Copies of this chain bind each other. A is one copy, B any other.
Amino acid sequence: MTGIAYWFPVIGVVGLLAAALIYFFIKRMEVTNPTMVEISEAIHDGAMVFLRREYTILAGFVLVVFLILSFLISPLTGAAFLVGACSSMLAGFLGMKAATRANVRTTHAANESGIGAALSVAFAGGAVMGLSVASLGLIGVGIAFLLYLNGVLEPSHITGFAMGASSIALFARVGGGIFTKSADVGADLVGKVEVGIPEDDPRNPATIADNVGDCVGDTAGMGADIFESYVGSIIATIAIAAVGSSKILNITPENKVLYMGLPILLVSIGLIASLIGVASIRVLRGLSPATALRTSTILSAVLMIAGALLAINGLGLELGIFWAIFMGTLAGIVIGLLTEWYTGGAPIRRIADSCKTGAATNIISGLAVGMQSTAAPVIMIAATILVAYNFAGLYGIGIAAVGMLGTVGITMSVDGYGPIADNAGGISEMSGLGPETRKITDSLDALGNTTDAMGKGFAIGSAALTALALFSAYAKTVGLETINLIEPSVTVGLLIGGILPFFLGDLTMSAVGRAAFQMVEEVRRQFREIDGLMEGTAKPDTARCVDISTTAALKEMILPGIVAVASPVVIGLTLGPETLGGMLAGATLTGVLLALFMANSGGAWDNAKKLIENGYLGGKGSDAHKAAVVGDTVGDPFKDTSGPSMNILIKLMSIVALVIAPILI
């Protein structure tokens, strides 16, 4: 393993170089239309200002936690935490840079060269994010593993890296989610409803903020989320293997390094497979965009699965591990498809039909669909756990999560494509480009909604599996033989844990409500006070709107962040490690269920509205459409703020528990 291990960071660097190449390829493309340049600069600047201010606040938080960890646990854990946090921030920064460069160039390509070229650019922008996430994760974990092999680090220190990634992810997801939805809801409530101008109209002062929000929430937030799952699943698997004993696998003190290295080897293979998948888009661009994206994703998955089989055979490990990996990969794909169905299939027609009797019945049926949509993905996760455990013990659960996340390079590229296509549409509207261009960007955007839904499902599924793997790692590390539900202390932990996702849901939805209200007031003020704004002769003060979203997002992300980090510590130190175990289980259960419920309700309302806008039941302006808009607005914080925040909450709490395990023993 030692020989191979030196290759892990090297492969990571190769991936990062590929991302850099793609970035410069995008940046080199010239955009000539001055309006487009101006708009894209405004979006870029808004996004960068947000990141800078966010990272400034986070620097303080990271420093404090670094110091606490260094004194309480170990300076090496603190250092790993610092590197993990910086890696996550770097990945977010690179992804945002690429997205805010690729958006306008996608519009340009759509305008000049047609849909194939535009798809290439948008996908390339997403690929920078996808490859950065995978590469930075691999470099970080790879170097940590080398340091372990050379006796510098203990496995317990490495968990700090995951906690660093996790902490940043929470703030990025919550902050990004609040930013994007306060801008979106605020822009829509005044623009579309009160003033009666279309989406992305340049006269609307909140439009730029809305587009910045797409990058901040869907690119940086999603990237940090998946980065956390990726790193978390690898490190959970390492931690489980490090403890050694297993009922099913033949892990011994001598050979355990093989089991510890396997997840890193696996994601190295996954990164190579993803690079091939990304490159294949150039060959596949003749196909329809949807088919091209799907084919490249499946190609990478198949390559990784094949590589995993070779690796397991080559290292002489049990074949059962392969089945765990296979099941994890399969579950990721199935859950993505299930999400696509619930937010795009028959259920959305049912929701659209319920708009006939008004907004209330639309809300009821959307909530019902969301509730229904929790069952199948959770059963898929349960089946994965059973199969993985049966074939490879607790190690199997960790490695199944790694299997699901191994090809993150390509899945995140596809997912990162969505907000870029969305932005490209906004820019073409704001720049007043012709209907031909708008049609291309619209069709790319529609596909983006699908990839977005699949990405959300994938993010939830991977979060669930990662959290369960981290939970197993926690129990093993603390040396708990049982977390006994018959003990009331565990039941109490379960109950307290179960509350937390509801608490987070309340905090994030209320935050969006407050921020959107401020935004509405500001947009109304501008339409009232700026002469000529409505007529298009004066310009709106877009920077002010960006600032409102930024300030609100940064202020409102603090409390959820502190609660998530502090609650495992408080419960673990006061009520003990068993109660903490119960709390993690409770939070994971309700967190996963609420995440699915909220993300899928929101996605379904969105697409039901789009169905009506495309002419169903009278189209835009009909009573059914008005009812559908209410559902869509409720769905905004559901699917883009509260729902995704759950993913992070459950992983972060488990990670914190794992990190503080040494002081709980």
Contacts and interface: CB of A to CB of B under 8 A. Distances in A.
Interface stretch (A284-292, A380-388, A430-438, A440-448): A380-388
A358 B186 CA distance: 12
A375 interface: yes
Contacts of A488: 385-386, 389, 394, 397
Contacts of A475: 486
In this complex, which of A359, A381, A517 has the most chain B Cβ atoms within 10 angstroms of its Cβ? A359
Interface string A615-653: 000000000000001100110010000000000000000
A379 B185 CA distance: 34
Interface string A147-158: 000000000000
Interface in A574-588: 581-582, 585-586
Contact of A630 (B189, B359, B371, B480): B359
A509 interface: yes
A360 B606 CA distance: 13
A516 B358 CA distance: 12
Contact of A513 (B365, B485, B585): B365
Interface stretch (A295-303, A315-323, A489-497): A489-497
A22 interface: no
A509 B589 contact: no
B358 A189 contact: yes
A638 to B, nearest CB: 8
Interface in A369-415: 369, 371-372, 374-375, 378-379, 381-382, 385-386, 389, 394, 397
Nearest to A520: B357
B506 A364 contact: no
In this complex, which of A361, A364, A369 has the most chain B Cβ atoms within 10 angstroms of its Cβ? A364
Contact of A485 (B365, B379, B581): B581
B397 A509 contact: no
A482 interface: yes
B354 A513 contact: yes
Interface string A469-487: 0001001000011111110
A578 to B, nearest CB: 9
A656 interface: no
Given A472-B486, A499-B375, A369 B581 contact: no
Nearest to A505: B371
In this complex, which of A496, A502, A590, A629 has the most chain B Cβ atoms within 10 angstroms of its Cβ? A502
A634 B582 CA distance: 34
A486 B483 contact: yes
A260 to B, nearest CB: 20
Contact of A509 (B189, B368, B374, B506): B368
Interface residues of A, number: 73
A509 B494 CA distance: 27
B499 A593 contact: yes
A510 interface: yes
A381 B494 CA distance: 12
B372 A593 contact: no
A593 B502 contact: yes
A553 to B, nearest CB: 17
B193 A358 contact: yes
Contacts of A494: 585, 589
Contacts of A185: 360
Nearest first, the 9 A-B pairs at minimum CB distance are: A360-B633, A483-B485, A371-B506, A372-B506, A389-B488, A368-B509, A371-B502, A482-B484, A382-B492
30 contacts: A189-B357, A189-B358, A189-B361, A193-B358, A357-B517, A359-B630, A360-B630, A360-B633, A361-B516, A363-B363, A364-B512, A364-B637, A365-B509, A369-B506, A374-B503, A375-B499, A375-B502, A375-B503, A378-B495, A382-B495, A386-B489, A481-B486, A482-B486, A484-B484, A484-B485, A485-B485, A494-B589, A498-B590, A589-B589, A590-B590
Interface of A: 185, 189, 193, 354, 357-361, 363-365, 367-369, 371-372, 374-375, 378-379, 381-382, 385-386, 389, 394, 397, 468, 472, 475, 480-486, 488-492, 494-496, 498-499, 502-503, 505-506, 509-510, 512-513, 516-517, 520, 581-582, 585-586, 589-590, 592-593, 597, 629-630, 633-634, 637
Given A360-B633, A394-B486, A485-B585, 16 more contacts: A189-B358, A357-B517, A363-B630, A364-B633, A367-B634, A368-B509, A371-B505, A371-B509, A374-B502, A379-B499, A386-B488, A397-B488, A483-B484, A485-B581, A494-B585, A495-B589
